[in-house]
């Protein structure tokens, strides 16, 4: 049984109290931080695109978000990315991450202007089943984000009871810095060592509730045991005066130029290339953790271990180093061929 989140709604207007609680617990759970109707309107846009992708059951109303499990797919598979691109470009998604209620909370907590990372993550998590499980494993964000200390806001698009795969975290786990990790299937391709049994906290979310956490707070998702697609986004915020890693000012997986993202936007120009006007201090991404992760994954794959597959997929598609991409693609082919041969024998 997970314990409930400590509720920080009553201190959301008090910057010093927010900073003290973040320092102590590593997370803040705030009910109704975003207007429910605005979150539901964004959910509507996501569901429309999910329906177009064929991810929803045709015999149920789109608004229910009932997943067609026969079409289950995940990031970064081509079947997923092909449809995901239109979601990621949605102007309303990017405007939501800049919502004054969110940015205002961070600025109160920081006591100075915030930089909203241009990069954000949007997720469509199909229900977990015997043949398919894409539950995000336990991890710390710093490994993937670099730069100065940053904080995530995790926002479910719609009501998200724990059974639909909400987020859960380990209070106080942020204090020990980056912890040892191992290779794992799923988002990010790695997981923090240690299981933290009995320490996890989580609550049911209503549309508009937000959980905010630091880049070293250990967190993971709960399995989606509903019949619905769990849709959410997570965005990052930091002090403007701190450095931001170059990877955080790119689009997701560097899939587009920003001009392609902006091409379909109809609103004012204020959110276009805003980080340049703000004078963000951009620094190279610290690759030390990825180098370690990838070396372990290559080694496992050389020994035929399928556990390396999700990590290799990421490297093959997204690593800036061409030699690493080629090596990952070659190992993927070998793994898949070996798997197909075993399946034939069985």
> Site residues (CB under 6 A) for ligand AKG?
123, 125, 136, 141, 152, 154, 167, 219, 221, 232, 234
Closer of 209 and 234 to ligand AKG (Cβ): 234
Q: What is the 3-state secondary structure (H, E, C) of 47-62?
A: HHHHHHHCCECCCCCH
We find the least distance from the C-beta atom of residue 115 to ligand AKG, in angstroms, to be: 18
**Least separation in angstroms between CB 211 and ligand AKG:** 9
Residue among 192 and 232 whose Cβ is closer to ligand AKG: 232
Least distance between ligand AKG and beta carbon 340 (Å): 29
Query: Nearer to ligand AKG by C-beta: 39 or 221?
Result: 221
Q: Which is nearer to ligand AKG, 213 or 298 (CB)?
A: 213
CB 291 within 8 Å of CB 252: no
CA distance 48 to 45: 5
CA distance 95 to 197: 37
Inter-CA distances, 104 with 15, 76, 220, 281, Å? 10, 33, 26, 21
CA distance 6 to 31: 11
In the complex, what is the shortest distance from the CB of residue 234 to ligand AKG, in angstroms, rounded to a whole number?
3
Name the phi and psi angles at 187, rounded to 5: -55, 135
Q: Which is nearer to ligand AKG, 127 or 298 (CB)?
A: 127
d(CA 153, CA 210): 6
The residue nearest ligand AKG at its CB is 234
CA separation for the pair 316, 238 (Å, rounded): 30
Helix (H/G/I), strand (E/B), else coil: 153? strand
- Identity of the residue, 159 or 234, whose beta carbon is nearer to ligand AKG in the bound complex: 234
User: Interior CA angle at 215 toward 261 and 257, to 5°?
Assistant: 15
- Contact at 8 Å (CB) between 165 and 225? yes
Closest approach of Cβ 114 to ligand AKG, in Å? 17
Residue whose CB is less far from ligand AKG, 126 or 154:
154
Q: In terms of Cα–Cα distance, which of 224, 232, 228, 234 is closest to 132? A: 224
| Helix, coil or strand: residue 120 | strand
Closer Cβ to ligand AKG, 74 or 239, answer by number: 74
């Amino acid at each position: 049984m997970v314990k409930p989140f400590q509720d920080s709604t009553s201190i959301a207007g008090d910057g010093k109290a927010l900073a003290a609680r973040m320092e102590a617990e590593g997370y803040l759970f705030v009910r109704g931080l975003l207007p429910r109707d605005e979150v539901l309107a964004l959910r509507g846009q996501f569901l429309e695109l999910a329906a177009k992708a064929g991810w929803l059951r045709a015999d149920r109303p789109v608004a229910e978000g009932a997943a067609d499990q026969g079409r289950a797919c995940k990031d970064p598979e081509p079947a997923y990315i092909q449809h995901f691109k239109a979601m990621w470009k949605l102007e309303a998604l990017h405007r939501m991450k800049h919502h004054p209620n969110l940015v205002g909370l961070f600025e109160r907590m920081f006591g100075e202007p915030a930089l909203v990372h241009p990069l954000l993550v949007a997720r469509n998590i199909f229900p977990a089943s015997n043949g398919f499980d894409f539950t995000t494993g336990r991890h710390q964000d710093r490994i993937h984000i670099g730069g100065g200390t940053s904080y995530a806001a995790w926002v479910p698009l719609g009501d998200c009871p724990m059974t639909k795969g909400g987020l859960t975290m380990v209070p106080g786990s942020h204090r020990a810095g980056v912890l040892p990790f191992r290779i794992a299937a799923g988002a990010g391709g790695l997981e923090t060592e240690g299981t933290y049994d009995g320490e996890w906290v989580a609550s049911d979310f209503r549309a508009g509730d937000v959980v905010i956490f630091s880049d070293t707070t250990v967190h993971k998702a709960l399995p989606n045991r509903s019949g619905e697609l769990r849709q959410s986004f997570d965005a990052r915020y930091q002090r403007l005066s701190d450095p931001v890693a170059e990877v955080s000012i790119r689009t997701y997986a560097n899939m587009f130029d920003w001009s392609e993202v902006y091409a379909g936007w109809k609103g004012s120009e204020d959110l276009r290339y805003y980080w340049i006007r703000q004078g963000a201090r951009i620094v190279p991404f610290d690759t030390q953790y990825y180098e370690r992760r990838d070396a372990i994954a290559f080694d496992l794959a050389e020994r035929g271990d399928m556990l390396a597959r999700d990590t290799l997929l990421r490297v093959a598609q997204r690593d800036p180093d061409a030699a690493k991409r080629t090596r990952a693609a070659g190992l993927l082919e070998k793994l898949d061929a070996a798997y197909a041969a075993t399946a034939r024998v069985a």
